[in-house]
Amino acid sequence: MPEPEIYARLVRELNAVPRSRLTLLRAAARLGRTPYKLALAALAALAALAALDKSTFAMAPYLLYETLGRTLPAGARSGAVLWALAQPIAKEYPTAMRRAGHRSPDALFDAMLGGRSGITFTEDEYGDAWTYVRHPGHRIPLPIPELPGLLADLDTTPAVHTSDDFPIVLAAGQRRAFTANTIFRDNTWRKRDPQGTLRVSPHDAEQLGLSDGALAQITTSRGTAEAVVEIDDRLQPGHAALPNGFGLDLPTQDGGTERTGVALNTLTDLTWRDPIAGTPWHKHVPARIQPLPA
């Protein structure tokens, strides 16, 4: 299924958008893009008055997919969101857009739909470059407010985060030949590593008593999990890795569910994260690994 269709079905089941909004926009879309644009503008004005409508209008990609998308050529429904992207381009950079050969936002949108290998949507001259710098005086502010303090503390910041309790650095989310994001909810396509093995170095395998193909328990400050061991001489001592994209509860033919591999968020701690970006340190998770009885 195309990804927008997955989200659309979830929104439908949740009844998150009033049917009256969809009915209005579908009717406007059938009349043409100008009436559709006016109908969207009316909804936006309504959104400024009511909190409920604000939450509805926040799902603009869904509205476009379900309304304007239905009027597009076969296979192009997911491209409806590009119509919304074409509008600010025409408003903010009309000259550059026309240089690229598009006389209106609708013409730009049609070119997007027809451009199977990409299109030039604006064409700038050298003098236009500074118009993209929105800061006062066209100056780029270099200081990041959160950064100077962290730089000053580098000398006293610990460089090692493992401990006696958690001596292994676990990469929780290694990319491998047959891993994918969890939008792929079918394990049968994997030709290798179908179980999502825990890769460890030969040195650590010997020290910890781990055997190739045996089960091991991984423990972090967040939780525990079990995985099949794969001894891999590409890993340095003190490091282990689990792949991304596993740990889903998938339906079985008998009506139940089956989980394959480790759901990494059971091991990663949201408080163990980059202080500026807030991104968890998935590739540096202190862990303890122990063999499990056969």
Domains of the chain: 3-132 (no CATH), 168-291 (2.40.40.20)
**pLDDT at position 86:** 96
Query: What are the tokens at 15?
Result: 């009844």
DSSP annotation of 103 reads: S
**pLDDT at position 11:** 94
**pLDDT at position 132:** 86
**pLDDT at position 94:** 95
Can you list the residues of the chain whose pLDDT is less than 50? 52
Q: What's the CA gap between 97 and 267, in Å, rounded?
A: 48
pLDDT tens digits for range 30-63: 999 999 999 988 877 766 655 545 666 778 899 9
* Side-chain-facing half-sphere of 42: CA atoms under 13 Å: 10
**pLDDT at position 18:** 85
For the chain, report the end-to-end CA distance as a whole number of angstroms. Answer: 40
Which residue, among 38, 25, 123, 131, has the nearest Cα to 80 in the 3D structure?
25
**pLDDT at position 49:** 58
**Residues 132, 154: contact at Cβ < 8 Å?**
no
**pLDDT at position 252:** 86
**pLDDT at position 59:** 86
**pLDDT at position 131:** 83
Render 146-192 in DSSP notation, one character per residue: THHHHHHTGGGS-S----SSS-EEEEEEE--TT---TT---GGG-SS
Helices (H) and strands (E) in the chain, counts: 10, 8
**How far, in Å, are 4, 5, 105, 114 from residue 118 at the CA level?**
20, 23, 16, 9
133 CB burial (10 A radius; 0-12, 13-18, 19+): exposed
The DSSP H or E segment spanning 90 is: helix 80-92
**pLDDT at position 74:** 86
Helix (H/G/I), strand (E/B), else coil: 132: helix
Cα-based torsion angle of the residue sequence 132, 136, 137, 142 in order, rounded to the nearest 10 degrees: -80
pLDDT tens digits for range 126-154: 988 888 888 998 888 888 888 888 999 99
**pLDDT at position 163:** 96
**pLDDT at position 101:** 96
